[in-house]
Amino acid sequence: MTPTVRCNLRKIMYDREIRTFAEVIRRTGVNRNTIKKLYQSRGIHRVQMRTLAKVCAGLGCSLQELIHPS
């Protein structure tokens, strides 16, 4: 059985008072569909590591804060 991972993008956005995907896109340079996948914790296993690194850098968080096992 493959372990399931969850994304904390929703919580990170809340904690940093980021209200829109547009703001996340502006900070990270990652496209809307990928941000939406992460926000909804769907298809995370298909998101490339360099994309996750861009999200972390843009939002000032670690990979461990962004992604965690569920």
Domain 5-64, CATH number (from 3.40.30.10, 1.10.8.60, 3.40.50.2300, 1.10.260.40): 1.10.260.40
pLDDT tens, per residue, the chain with 70 residues = 566 889 999 999 999 999 999 999 999 999 999 999 999 998 888 899 999 999 999 999 999 999 988 7
Buried b (16+ CB within 10 A) or exposed e, 18-49: beeeeebeebbebeeebbebbbebeebeebee
Q: Which of 24, 31, 14, 32 is nearest to 57 (CA)?
A: 24
- pTM comes to 0.90
Domain boundaries, the chain: 5-64
